[in-house]
Structure 1
Amino acid sequence: MRAIVIFLVFVTANYVSSVPCVALSTWEATFEAHDHYTGYYARGRMAYDKTGEKVRTVEAIKGNATVAYDSLYLFNKHAHYRVDLKTKKCSKEALNFKFEPIEIHANSTYLGEVIIGSLNGIGTGVIVQSWAHKSSSGGQVFQTFTSHDCIPVSHSYYGKNSAGKDMHYHFDYYDVRPGVSSPEIFDVPKSCM
């Protein structure tokens, strides 16, 4: 009888933890991005709006020379505005890829749950869940969210870019804050008008 009770507790705990949480629809965060094939590395701030399919990043890119950009991705208008923060020059290009929400997708597979830090004291750790799914472009996406409040922690993509070259991008999110500080954060930069 004891074995049956332990089994039922184990099955129930695994079922509860593998139910996808609902991610934030708008948020701001500090991020780090890394392309494992090209060595591209960027760090900056970002704002995210799932409903409007908008992302704004202000990033410093490290490489042969450090450059900084303010980029606005308006997926619903298929437009990408990019301002070089040194020269103040703006470029606009068409977005040729689909918006991929940062959330646990319907076709996601639950990979497991781990503790970052420790749960031995208040505020010393956090439980996170990992999920995987196929992207609309056919690549593989791995994501990690906090189990409490469903806050994004990391996002990795393995696949091909539009030129057919291998890609392996990895994003980490820090200091995530629900909502956006101002709706104007998604306005087209003045230097692009």
Structure 2
Amino acid sequence: MLSFFILCLASVVIAQQPRPCTSPSQWEASVHSSNPKLDADLVGQLSYDSIYQRTRILQHVKVGTTETYYDIITFYDAKLVFIVNMKNGECSRSTFDQPWSDFAIQSDATSLGEAYIGSSTIHDAGLLVTIWSGNQTIPLNETARYIQTWTFENCLPVSNIVFEPSGSVNYMWYYNITLGIQDPNVFIPPARCWNDKKFLIQYNLFGPRMN
């Protein structure tokens, strides 16, 4: 009888262990990214669609006293990215080779456990999240350590902190997430983008990705 009880208890513990997961296929969220060392902040609205492998980020970036506004639509399957400068209306279209990667907890990530944002003792006052750590490759082919937080239910991103070898730390937060794409037209580039004129614009879709 005792051995049966121990076996049942072990099964419950195993069932409760956080496991890597993939976020829903379509969702939208407000995002905020910050890098104190670079005195940089990004505030934006993200539309994510893994069914058609496309993203759209409407972003306001501030680096020091310089502010820029971009609307970036990326089609991973077609290998095309459209960048609209919201200040002057200029638009560029270019190709790229970055493969699509779903928003997901990596299979080799290490679980740091679970926690409540807010309180678990007050009704409707807490959110159960899972916390993960691992390594990822960043630009310049460097390896950086990350700590990510995801909702326990539905596997939605909450935050991502990336510690770069240079000592720079990138913080990313996701909030006001809604499932589905409210307006599919957000993925349609302006008509003026369909030309051969290109601009040398450095951009970042939405900081280091949770992939």
Moved over 4 A (4+): 4-11, 136-139, 165-168
Secondary structure, counterpart of 1:76 in structure 2: coil
- Residue 68 (structure 1) aligns with: 69
Contact 1:21 1:147 in 2 (8 A): no
Tell me if 1:142 matches 2:147: yes
Give the TM-score normalised by the residue count of structure 2.
Answer: 0.74
Paired residue type of 1:180: I
Residue 49 of structure 1, CA deviation: 1.2
Letter in 2 for 1:91: S
Q: How many residues align?
A: 188
SS at match of 2:99: coil
Instruction: From the superposition, tell whether residues 120 and 19 of structure 1 become closer, same or farther in structure 2 (CA, over 3 Å).
Output: same
Q: Which amino acid in structure 2 is aligned with residue 47 of structure 1?
A: S
Question: 2:128, 2:152 within 8 Å by CA — same for their partners in 1?
Answer: yes
2:99 is matched with 98
Residue deviations 1:77-132, cap 9 Å, x none? 23221111111111233335333321122222222111100122222110100123
Separation in structure 2 between the aligned mates of residue 189 and residue 169 of structure 1, nearest angstrom: 31
- What does residue range 11-90 of structure 1 map to in structure 2 within 5 Å? 12-13=12-13, 15-63=15-63, 64-90=65-91
TM-score normalized by the length of structure 1: 0.80
Fraction of identical pairs, as percent = 23
Contact 2:22 2:102 in 1 (8 A): no
Root mean square deviation of aligned Cα: 3.0
Partner Cα separation in structure 2 for residue 159 and residue 75 of structure 1: 26
- 5+ residue gaps, structure 2, are 195-211
